[in-house]
Structure 1
Amino acid sequence: MQYDPIKRSLGKVFNQTPLLRKLFYQLLDLLLLRAWHIRKELRKRSHSTPDVKSILDAGSGFGQYTYRMSRWFAEANIKAVDIKPEQIEDCNQFMQKSGLANRVKFELADLTQFQEPDRYDLILSVDVMEHIEEDVQVFRNFYASMRKGGMLLISTPSDQGGSDSHDHDHEEGVHGFIDEHVRDGYNIADIESKLKSVGFSKIEARYSYGNPGKISWKLSMKYPILMLGASKIFFIILPFYYLIVYPFALILNFFDLGMKHKSGTGLIVKAWK
């Protein structure tokens, strides 16, 4: 597995000061196409329902989406949960230094057991469900934890190669770029059926990472991380690589964000209670 160790190493580099942490978040927002799609949906939500009071970031990771939501939903209290204690402690320290600790809290939690009935107006789950075998139980917990009219927003790989496990055709002893996923991805009918089974009545799902996004992801994320995994010397070369490559990736991201894709390696799913 090459993706997550490199991601953790980069996180440590940028975690030394709040300013570097915010710079790290900016870089993630620029480089990760899924962040473009999530920002688009969150902006829609903030404009259509500005009185969101309580938010759950379910699987908060580095906390970049929690931080963004704390700015877009300035009146909301936010709880962010994850299963990694070091990230919980780290993110709470950052929020304390950023003056947001009064309304943003990070807690250790297992989503298969986490349930807080009728509490949240918005639940965000970014690249989490592909890691959890008991996904229907998590969807059930989300539904129970939401207020009437609340929205669930999910970003997850599709079954069109979103986990990049198809690169090696599952050869014995050969791992894909991302190996921690319990499923290759969802198709739209599958995830809609599971969400309906726990009570969600209105569901919208669309593909992301269509042809432009797939090319952009390889240029801006996959190839650089493969290089860093091969040798640390690429930390020196990487800025020059991005000077050449990123303008092309930027254009591809704009196309991916604005197009309606018949298929793609990612899914953006919205469900309402």
Structure 2
Amino acid sequence: MQYDPIKKSLGKVFNRTPFLRILFYRLLDLLLLRAWHIRKEIKLWSKKVGNDINVLDAGSGFGQYVYFLSSLNKDWNITGLDVKTEQIEDCNQFFTKIKRNEKVHFEYADLTKFEEVDKYDLVISVDVMEHIEDDEGVFKNIHNAMISGGMMIISTPSDQGGSDAHHHEVEHEDGVTGFIDEHVRDGYNIQEIKQKLQKAGFKNVVAHYTYGWPGKISWKLSMKFPIMMLNLSKLFFIILPVYYIITFPISFILNFIDVKIKHKTGTGLLVKAIK
């Protein structure tokens, strides 16, 4: 089952005006548990830094996190990188419309070939690394691009079922099964990703599980079940608002709990690495 067709359909609906696009960002911030964890870590980091900051979103997608960063501090210089040129163009147009293009810009980059040196104070990578085969090369490239003392924040699935690889909803012609068929790995072992980051040169790496028992339930309610319905028929767009009116209060509480408690295991990982 693929996310991209659903993403494109939602993008067409919410990209008609800047207001709708911002509303879309707000909804993603509320529904996506990873956004809760990422925003929490960025806010903690932001209290320790000033205004003359360079930030990189490595795999910026729709620009959701760039919007959050630029709202948190309008003086930060923020760059979004992605391999999808249509999303880069779309994001640049949107941030021009809302008059944030002076400090924010998006550009094409293959992270496996990314070359920059001693520039970024903060790098975020949200649900990106599980799509890249040469992850060690990317970690090394990003390490080179960061200033000494800079921090990288990564959100990625864990090997505890983060890609839902054990739920065989779809079987493809190549024999690959699973809810998400766009990943090159089912998820990271917590020690594995720490070791890879340390090998790339990061000196202080901390990782913890996300999507514990509350997050697993929330994800099924807020993402998995709706996407399964939409993949069956686009007619489910009509009943989606009613579905979320019923399920959102439950997902909200579950997301809140997941962010507040520590998990012995979980289907997601939040990793912080210091250069």
TM-score range, shorter chain: over 0.9
Residues 124 and 153 of structure 2 are in contact (CA less than 8 Å); yes or no, is this contact kept in structure 1? Answer: yes
| 2:248 partner letter | Y
Aligned residue identity for 2:196: K
Structure 1: where are the runs of 5+ without partners? none
> 1:187, CA displacement in angstroms?
1.2
Partner of 2:61: helix, strand, or coil? coil
One-letter identity of the residue aligned with 1:245: T
The whole-number CA distance in structure 2 between the counterparts of 1:12 and 1:60 is: 18
Count of aligned pairs between the two proteins: 273
The one of 212, 216, 219 equivalent to 2:218 is 216
Partner of 2:228: 226
CA shift, 1:231, in A, is: 1.3
Q: Is the 8 A contact 1:152 1:272 kept in 2?
A: yes
Match of 1:258 in 2: 260
Contact 1:210 1:261 in 2 (8 A): yes
Change (3 A) 1:202 1:170: farther
The one-character-per-residue Cα deviations of 1:187-206 (angstroms, maximum 9, x if unpaired) are 11000000010111101101
Query: Counterparts of 1:1-273 in structure 2 under 5 Å?
Result: 1-51=1-51, 53-168=53-168, 173=175, 175-273=177-275
Quote how far apart the aligned CAs of 1:11 are: 1.1
CA contact (8 A) 1:58 1:80 kept: yes
Residue 76 of structure 1 deviates from its aligned partner by: 1.1
State percent identity of aligned pairs.
64
Paired with 1:225 and 1:2, the residues of 2 have a C-alpha distance of 9
Question: Aligned equivalents of 2:51 and 2:14: distance in 1?
Answer: 33
* Divergent runs of 4+, >4 A: 169-172
Deviation, 1:244, is 1.0
Distance 2:52 2:222 in 1: 34
Q: Distance in 2 between matches of 1:50 and 1:144?
A: 22
Distance in 2 (alpha carbons) for counterparts of 1:78 and 1:195: 23
Q: CA separation in 2, counterparts of 1:16 and 1:177?
A: 30
CA apart distance, 1:177: 1.6
CA distance in 1, matches of 2:169, 2:108: 36
TM-superposed CA distance for 1:235, in Å, is 1.0
Where 2:111 maps in the other structure, the secondary structure is: coil
Instruction: Kindly provide the CA deviation profile for residues 124-176 of structure 1, in whole angstroms up to 9, marking residues without a partner as x.
Output: 10000000000000000010000011000000000011111111299774632
Could you tell me which amino acid in structure 1 is paired with residue 134 of structure 2? E
User: In the TM superposition, what whole-angstrom CA distance separates every residue of 1:75-94 from its partner, at most 9, and x where no partner exists?
Assistant: 21111110000000000000
TM-score under structure 2 length normalisation: 0.96
The one-letter code matched in structure 2 to 1:28 is: L
- Opposite residue 214 of structure 1, the aligned amino acid is K
Deviation at 1:3, TM superposition (A): 2.1
Contact kept in structure 2, 1:152 and 1:271, CA below 8 Å: yes
Separation in structure 2 between the aligned mates of residue 190 and residue 180 of structure 1, nearest angstrom: 21
Question: 1:235 aligns to what SS in structure 2?
Answer: helix
Distance 2:167 2:134 in 1: 26
**SS at the partner of 2:99?**
coil
Give the 3-state SS of the residue equivalent to 1:48 in structure 2: coil
SS in 2 for 1:93: helix
Residues 74 and 103 in structure 2, CA contact (< 8 A), matched pair in contact too: no
- TM norm structure 1: 0.97
Secondary structure of residue in 2 paired with 1:165: coil
CA-CA distance at 1:48 after TM superposition = 2.1
| Matched residue type, 2:251 | A
> How far, CA to CA, are the matches of 2:245 and 2:169 in structure 1?
33
Q: Retained in 2: the 8 A contact 1:3–1:177?
A: no
